[in-house]
Structure 1
């Protein structure tokens, strides 16, 4: 009888490959699944399931899919050792499977036939899986970062060939899955993994939840954060989360029963039935989550006031209305127990991975976002209406009920929580509120810190007096006698108020205290916010972090007319609710207004402006929106704001000087949006001399000869414009091809052929979607060749590709001769020719974006995947794929030698 890993060992020389040796392990806890992306002779995805101490393995050439019913071939290969689960790196040339490997996804899995799960019972799970494997049909439920939900593995008539199929459930999704091309461990792509700094390899046993066995604990208290005394700054080994303005909640899931426990141990379960319902669908026996329940106001921002209003509704009828009027979300930031395992001793970094894998997001249960950049997270949190951020050490363990220095909160204002020991009478005598008498506990005694009589609303006064009427007492609860300026009503010190204040006075009192709200989620005896503590020292309330956020904040004004004002510029905006892109006919997708478009331009500006800067711009303007008049505008001859920079260029067609706008700064970008510029088309050369430019002349406008000798005649790129002329059949007679999947798929194939040829020439290329039907391949170069020379090089490359693939590629100028093929337009390498800039929208329905991609992302890309409404989220998660496009310039003289 063969040993389980004999085939694996026979195929490898472990003195030459970094892959782990053939070792069978014995483990406890849920079973692991792993997907490794592997650039061997052919790119494929290795799908592996832990069973009986090894990894059962299948090679999936096209990768998994979230499309229900999509059948992906999965070829069964030899079993791999469990330790292979965390392997990523480079298998050397001439070795079996030579190529780069990353851990594309990982998590836990269970058989799920009949919606019965065995996450917490390994023995039962393996027994079920052995039986299903022998029968040639596995039904499994995956909990990974990228793959979630139910899948089937079905053997075909050929022993080694199976099909991997996504079952129809709430986790189905668009076919953009494979565009997520980074490792879930290192964050590297396949191309980057070889250069990742040497580090200790992850333990395969820690890839998914692992911890000592325990019964589901009861009545834990949440871990608390200390207050930061400075503005937050990015530090190594820390992660950052938004600080939420809601109810801190521990959510217990126990065999279908859900219990929501507040920070004070109060049962909140009846208040939030929609959260309970979603938690009941987590498909797990036992689970314990830590997070915060927030309520959203009418603008979709978190509001503690809305949450308190929601908490007052108790009857079934009131709760039904509340679910509609004040929706709540449970935002989870920690996983403390899963499937019979105690995870509190794992590090924050590990618990975060486990939470990302194991949580099944839904409408009312979501995973909180994290970042490694404190300043960006702080600015984004304030702009989104959150209180600030919480910093957490990645190596910290969870300490229930303790306030630890490994968690630090930074709030947007200086606030503190104080015990209410009484109140003074206001005008009208007893029963009228003058000011709250505030204190904090030190050595079990309540110390007076001042009184607050401002910040109240009629509703908050009414709420406070109703609560206070049940707490009246004859004796002052404070140690010592507080100074009073009016008769006082003393209270049993059970109420806690959040107070905003400027500073502590030398005698330990609050300076300029303002009432914010009552806190029913904090126990009075926990309050230690005295002058010896360190509340956060921060900026003014909700101050945006930079010009972009200040612009976005001003655009939140609902007025149709608005003057944007910043330190050194002003811009008048009009018709802000004009529809630039109409919504769809079903009404499910709302229109994109000028206001939303300007928000997009502001937020995308850090990514878009580097590609616009110093380049003559051709505007495609649609002042009434995409259904109105549209026109090209190259030259600007009217009055313009002072912040708009221009360049004067000699035109060989119109003989004379003409002024072009350049998109050099944020206010110019917003001004262009205000006047209806919905597409930004730019030259491929820049009006700026730098070290890489052969020409040092900036005389662009005295004559055609001067222009041809200037730096503007030397492009930054070789450009290949790939246009599919494969028709959908729905076009009007004589019209250009409209977007269709077949045409775009063949266009991608041609882009890969061009890239392969360029690689053989030792040239690195970048790619982006055009935003419509095509693709743009750019080769960043030093500015040492003219446009004529660049065009000649691109024509040579294009003709080589066409000769190799004559059935798919054409370079014919007659449109009728292009039908059914992909047109490579090398004539874009002409001075004055333009293409739309990276991140520019297009003036067609759906507001698609010209999106920079990696070559790996292109595999699964469709132009409809990238729109004005989703591109910012992609940038936040994946970053700017063209951030270095102007710094990786290549010297063509070295490539072509003496041929130039």
Structure 2
């Protein structure tokens, strides 16, 4: 916050002595973005009143409303305009001491975001336009606006009367009118305190005003987001660090709202939009440019209770007439429990506690769109969930961020019974009245083989029996899909392994089979190839009351002083051990010029553990080139692409065909914390990755994962389709200290010129309707990436980047070069478009560099790049920075851009 004596706050400052009152001093925020904030503070001054405040032009325009706001349409509440308040005042709660202006207790009664709404036109996603409209309306003496708060929602007006300072606060008629006694909700939306209780809460940490309403990095609307998943919990115990929600029994849905367009994505990435028109209709009425919700669609049975069977029947309906009847017979509700994006901002880096507040504010509920209930009392909520017919309870850490596509220990699920999913590979015939179906033959995938685990014949009712029989017979085949002949009591009909059954069972037998399994349902929403959990290899350890954080466990073990350590690291459902040696070895010796102390192997491993949640997503599925320096940056260093040696079982590889080396070779994949730490033990000080991923998904033109059989197969595979366009920017402006023939050393002039070229590239890409992202290389240069849908090969990507580079060169020939001869680059910035080649690598985001000072390759916003220098980001400060800012590249794989659409847009211009 920039402290200033801006004129709008002059009167505010004159009325207060800030050495005597805890109220914030005058200040105007410098970099506000996103929707505008509104705030209502309940204030027991000389007379009880409500302070209604609207953010506008960096301050809070303020009105004292003696009787408080009303939800009764047309009811006029006097609102006396008072002095503008600083933005920081929005989160102020506490006691203004006696003999000070406004003495008395204050709580934040409501808060949220607002937009002008005159003519039913909303500007939640356009701050500049919203403020322009509001200035005009304020000057005219009539403000019309739409509130998204936890208590106040809908359209309101402020109308100036003949007296300058007197206005009227009026609720417009809409679907948010009436209800119970609004002012009976008398507690703070931030702390739960009443006016009387706030005086006793002086030690509670005050939230920043920035945290009150949705705030996060600006992003383009993602095409898809994989849902975050919960791990099974052991003992449900209330804890102040956790919040608890009912576990719903329906279909997990990510809902994308982009203007009038709505898309419902299932857990498997399927399009469910057409199945639930009543939900889509209410999502279209959210009055926001862009919004992404995570939740569960549940169907209700005839008694109004959630029913998974009703949900499955509803999902199988085809045709408009059947759908209309299903809407009457099996109504559905989308129960939302997370807000991932709002008005152009990525909220996935916010904590669960913050996202819960934002969801409560921003969601406009209806008959088919509801907010999930949450409680800090886990035991009480679990009991209520089971009584209501839900599956159980989900516990969520309040300080956890949203980890898309990951099953995280920060979310735990507690069910009334434990179930597992298995692949159906066949069925046996029944006897007596159940001649159609006797039992389902079950298995799981062990690598690429289906391994038998047992058969289940109990748990069916007439309806499920008929439905399952119809589906399994449609997949009948003569081929046994299992790796061995299952030990069955009679003949079986084999089926293609395309169905998943959810079953409960008592335990595993010594042979690795299910004991007393019971069928519960088919799971169309679970991918068949994801079923890889079989019997445990070892006896189960006794369950712990609460799972220990994997990273914290590593950090605690590295706290010791021993030079050797057998490090225990969580992996899969268990743990593994990594032998660590020479922990006191200095990987980065102290460096007098940068005033940086030495970094030992122990400290480096601590960094790798801490950075893993941010770094691993950028390593996932990418062939990895290691730059190893086992003795530290002063010793021998070597590149290692292929891994042909023994490796621990937790280290995954991908086999690729190389036309340069000949034949197929293994590359390491950085898929887990254990692999990262093992590579750190081996002296891997830099991690360089391909720009393509060994993962088939719907954004890729190729659906082939054959990377190894031939050069032709590699070229036809997904690994030949990059995720990014890449511009490697290298300054060839010398410091004068380099030895003859050496590359330029870092110098401010060269880096400043490199930044200028990066901004030129970004400006040109904007004209092409493409969003670029940037990071420091960690040495002298910059890397500019453009996340794209995987629809062009590396050859196509290279041609596009060369075209962009040639345009920049034409515009700035004195500053830019694309010469391949090094001696011809002197004094200029080299744009290397030839990084867009399959197999070429750049250091991954957050990778350290093997040079003095232990710098790190750091993702930045374009605003941050203005003042950035490579030495600002080191092993010692990056983690603390990320705790404040979050991962700047968190959305690079979800916010893909269509090159075809961008070029069409450019052509129209």
TM interval, short-chain normalised: 0.5 to 0.7
How far apart, in 2, do the equivalents of 1:175 and 1:433 lie? 54
Determine the structure 2 residue equivalent to 1:365.
Answer: 369
8 Å CA contact 1:500–1:513 kept in 2: the answer is yes
Superposed counterparts of 1:289-304, under 5 Å: 289-304=293-308
Superposed counterparts of 1:594-609, under 5 Å: none
Which stretch of structure 1 is more off in the superposition, 441-450 or 420-429? 420-429
How far apart, in 2, do the equivalents of 1:251 and 1:212 lie? 20
Which of 73, 79, 89 lines up with 1:68 in the alignment? 73
Which stretch of structure 1 is more off in the superposition, 301-310 or 194-203? 194-203
Whether 1:263 aligns to 2:238 is no
Which of 166, 173, 181 lines up with 1:176 in the alignment? 181
Whether 1:388 aligns to 2:392 is yes
Determine the structure 1 residue equivalent to 2:38.
Answer: 33
8 Å CA contact 1:24–1:82 kept in 2: the answer is yes
8 Å CA contact 2:476–2:495 kept in 1: the answer is yes
8 Å CA contact 1:414–1:536 kept in 2: the answer is no
How many angstroms does 1:175 deviate by?
5.5
Whether 1:350 aligns to 2:389 is no
How far apart, in 2, do the equivalents of 1:443 and 1:410 lie? 29
Whether 1:112 aligns to 2:117 is yes
Determine the structure 2 residue equivalent to 1:10.
Answer: 14
Which of 229, 233, 247 lines up with 2:234 in the alignment? 229
How many angstroms does 1:297 deviate by?
1.1
How many angstroms does 1:467 deviate by?
2.1
Determine the structure 2 residue equivalent to 1:648.
Answer: none
8 Å CA contact 1:38–1:101 kept in 2: the answer is yes
How many angstroms does 1:291 deviate by?
0.4
> C-alpha deviations, 1:508-529, integer Å up to 9, x for none?
2211111111111110122244
How far apart, in 1, do the equivalents of 2:152 and 2:111 lie? 8
> C-alpha deviations, 1:198-218, integer Å up to 9, x for none?
132101011000011111111
After superposition, the Cα gap between the structure-2 partners of 1:32 and 1:435, relative to the gap in structure 1 and judged at 3 Å, is same
Number of positions where the alignment pairs a residue of Structure 1 with one of Structure 2: 537
8 Å CA contact 2:430–2:436 kept in 1: the answer is yes
Which of 312, 315, 322 lines up with 1:318 in the alignment? 322
Which of 505, 511, 515 lines up with 1:507 in the alignment? 511
- Unaligned residue ranges in structure 1 (runs of 5+): 539-900
> C-alpha deviations, 1:660-702, integer Å up to 9, x for none?
xxxxxxxxxxxxxxxxxxxxxxxxxxxxxxxxxxxxxxxxxxx
Which of 232, 243, 249 lines up with 1:239 in the alignment? 243
Determine the structure 2 residue equivalent to 1:482.
Answer: 486
8 Å CA contact 1:29–1:120 kept in 2: the answer is yes
Superposed counterparts of 1:114-129, under 5 Å: 114-129=119-134
8 Å CA contact 2:80–2:165 kept in 1: the answer is yes
Superposed counterparts of 1:512-531, under 5 Å: 512-531=516-535
Q: RMSD across aligned C-alpha pairs, in angstroms?
A: 2.1
Superposed counterparts of 1:14-163, under 5 Å: 14-26=18-30, 27-163=32-168
TM-score (norm 1): 0.58
Whether 1:284 aligns to 2:288 is yes
After superposition, the Cα gap between the structure-2 partners of 1:480 and 1:100, relative to the gap in structure 1 and judged at 3 Å, is same
8 Å CA contact 2:73–2:172 kept in 1: the answer is yes
How far apart, in 1, do the equivalents of 2:480 and 2:359 lie? 47
After superposition, the Cα gap between the structure-2 partners of 1:486 and 1:22, relative to the gap in structure 1 and judged at 3 Å, is same
8 Å CA contact 1:104–1:184 kept in 2: the answer is yes
Whether 1:204 aligns to 2:209 is yes
How far apart, in 1, do the equivalents of 2:110 and 2:398 lie? 21
After superposition, the Cα gap between the structure-2 partners of 1:535 and 1:293, relative to the gap in structure 1 and judged at 3 Å, is farther
After superposition, the Cα gap between the structure-2 partners of 1:119 and 1:411, relative to the gap in structure 1 and judged at 3 Å, is same
How far apart, in 2, do the equivalents of 1:286 and 1:322 lie? 29
Determine the structure 2 residue equivalent to 1:439.
Answer: 443
How far apart, in 1, do the equivalents of 2:143 and 2:542 lie? 54
Determine the structure 2 residue equivalent to 1:341.
Answer: 345
How many angstroms does 1:460 deviate by?
2.3
> C-alpha deviations, 1:287-337, integer Å up to 9, x for none?
100000111112211001111222222221122222221111000000001
8 Å CA contact 1:264–1:522 kept in 2: the answer is yes
Tell me the SS of whatever aligns to 2:356: helix
Which of 206, 217, 221 lines up with 2:222 in the alignment? 217
How far apart, in 2, do the equivalents of 1:480 and 1:314 lie? 39
How many angstroms does 1:2 deviate by?
7.2
Superposed counterparts of 1:493-572, under 5 Å: 493-532=497-536
TM-score (norm 2): 0.58
How far apart, in 1, do the equivalents of 2:511 and 2:186 lie? 59
Tell me the SS of whatever aligns to 2:135: helix
> C-alpha deviations, 1:630-670, integer Å up to 9, x for none?
xxxxxxxxxxxxxxxxxxxxxxxxxxxxxxxxxxxxxxxxx
Q: Which has the larger radius of gyration?
A: 1
How far apart, in 1, do the equivalents of 2:507 and 2:434 lie? 31
8 Å CA contact 2:263–2:273 kept in 1: the answer is yes
How far apart, in 1, do the equivalents of 2:165 and 2:463 lie? 70
> C-alpha deviations, 1:381-435, integer Å up to 9, x for none?
0000000000000111111111111011000112211111111233499993221
How far apart, in 1, do the equivalents of 2:229 and 2:92 lie? 36
Whether 1:397 aligns to 2:415 is no
How many angstroms does 1:497 deviate by?
0.6
8 Å CA contact 1:29–1:121 kept in 2: the answer is yes
How far apart, in 2, do the equivalents of 1:183 and 1:536 lie? 42
8 Å CA contact 1:286–1:337 kept in 2: the answer is yes
Tell me the SS of whatever aligns to 1:309: helix
How many angstroms does 1:466 deviate by?
2.6
8 Å CA contact 1:60–1:72 kept in 2: the answer is yes
How far apart, in 2, do the equivalents of 1:462 and 1:326 lie? 20
Tell me the SS of whatever aligns to 2:385: helix
8 Å CA contact 1:255–1:285 kept in 2: the answer is yes
How many angstroms does 1:139 deviate by?
0.1
- Unaligned residue ranges in structure 2 (runs of 5+): 545-909
How many angstroms does 1:537 deviate by?
9.5
8 Å CA contact 1:228–1:537 kept in 2: the answer is no
How many angstroms does 1:342 deviate by?
0.5
How far apart, in 2, do the equivalents of 1:60 and 1:119 lie? 25
Whether 1:254 aligns to 2:258 is yes
Determine the structure 1 residue equivalent to 2:194.
Answer: 189
How far apart, in 2, do the equivalents of 1:302 and 1:291 lie? 15
How far apart, in 1, do the equivalents of 2:101 and 2:449 lie? 72
After superposition, the Cα gap between the structure-2 partners of 1:448 and 1:197, relative to the gap in structure 1 and judged at 3 Å, is farther
8 Å CA contact 2:6–2:28 kept in 1: the answer is no
How far apart, in 2, do the equivalents of 1:69 and 1:366 lie? 27
Determine the structure 2 residue equivalent to 1:716.
Answer: none
After superposition, the Cα gap between the structure-2 partners of 1:302 and 1:53, relative to the gap in structure 1 and judged at 3 Å, is same
How many angstroms does 1:536 deviate by?
13
How far apart, in 1, do the equivalents of 2:124 and 2:425 lie? 51
How far apart, in 2, do the equivalents of 1:145 and 1:418 lie? 42
8 Å CA contact 1:66–1:175 kept in 2: the answer is no
